Amino acid sequence: MNKLAERIRHARRRGGRRLGFGLSSETQGSSRGLLIAARGSLPEGSAAAGADLAIVVDAEDADAGEALLGIDSSPLTAASAEAAEEAGAAFVVYDPDQAEAEALLREKLDYVLQLPQRAIEDSELRAVSTLRPALVIGPAATEPLPVASLIELRRIALTVGAPIATPVPATAGADLLEILRDSGVVVLILDAPSADQVTALRARIAQLPLSPRRRDDDGPVVTGVRAEADEDDLDED
């Protein structure tokens, strides 16, 4: 299992702590099933603002710090995938409408599929699942979140059968975070966040109630809007 897939697997263990690398559990706190990704320019000294993941276009100009480094490589080619691996990236983000199939053969890379901004039928989403992406980036979440958007997010999560990432406002409140997590979202994407914004979001995440215990680590959690956890069903990590 590659680094991103392992980081996601660990986060999805409800109440689990960070792995033995990166910032201490005292600093990061419980993930409550959600990771934070900083997307955009990461100038020297920023260290990805303390996020779990860093998504950049140019790895040479990025200061990911202890975050897992990912490169947004659209259009993705076999050559750019090789270059991302050589640059030390743990994963690449790609648009399937602008990617070469041969680029998906790098065994040391995880692949994050960015859903195109167009109508996508269930049959195409099911085909996405056969590519076994480590993560699928869905549409951005707004606050308040319309029920129609929630239904679409859950349709995607159920059909692709992979962890979901979604861009969120830096000020996203606890109710929105809980709904997203219990709809299959594992990664919250912030665009060019400050360290204070990441810290504040992480604090709100740490206060979320525990989600129901996972029975299948390969599929998304999609529960009722307000999930209830059974005390006998809690992890003991």
Helical pair 147-160 and 122-130, crossing angle rounded to 10 deg: 40
Confirm whether 237 is domain-assigned: no
pLDDT tens for the chain, residues 1 to 237: 789 999 999 998 754 433 333 443 433 446 789 999 999 876 555 556 789 999 998 867 666 678 899 999 889 999 999 999 999 999 999 999 999 999 999 999 999 999 999 999 999 999 999 999 999 999 999 999 999 999 999 999 999 999 999 999 999 999 999 999 999 999 999 998 988 999 999 999 999 998 765 544 445 556 655 555 444 444 444
Structure confidence at residue 224 (pLDDT)? 59
Beta-carbon contacts of 143 under 8 Å, excluding residues fewer than 6 positions away, are 168, 169, 171, 172, 173, 176
Structure confidence at residue 213 (pLDDT)? 53
Structure confidence at residue 49 (pLDDT)? 76
Confirm whether 19 is domain-assigned: yes
Six-digit token string for 57: 């276009």
> What is the total count of domains within the chain?
1
Structure confidence at residue 138 (pLDDT)? 97
CATH number of the domain enclosing 196: 3.20.20.70
DSSP string covering 84-149: HHHTT-SEEEE-GGGB-GGGGG-TT-EEEEE--SS---HHHHHHHHHT--SEEE-PPP-SSPPHHH
Confirm whether 177 is domain-assigned: yes
Structural domain harbouring 84: 3-221
Confirm whether 176 is domain-assigned: yes
pTM metric for this prediction: 0.83
Confirm whether 27 is domain-assigned: yes
Confirm whether 229 is domain-assigned: no
Backbone φ and ψ for 178, nearest 5 degrees, come out as -65, -45
Integer Cα distance of 218 and 60 in angstroms: 33
Structure confidence at residue 30 (pLDDT)? 60
Confirm whether 112 is domain-assigned: yes
Q: Which residues pair with 114 in a beta bridge?
A: 137
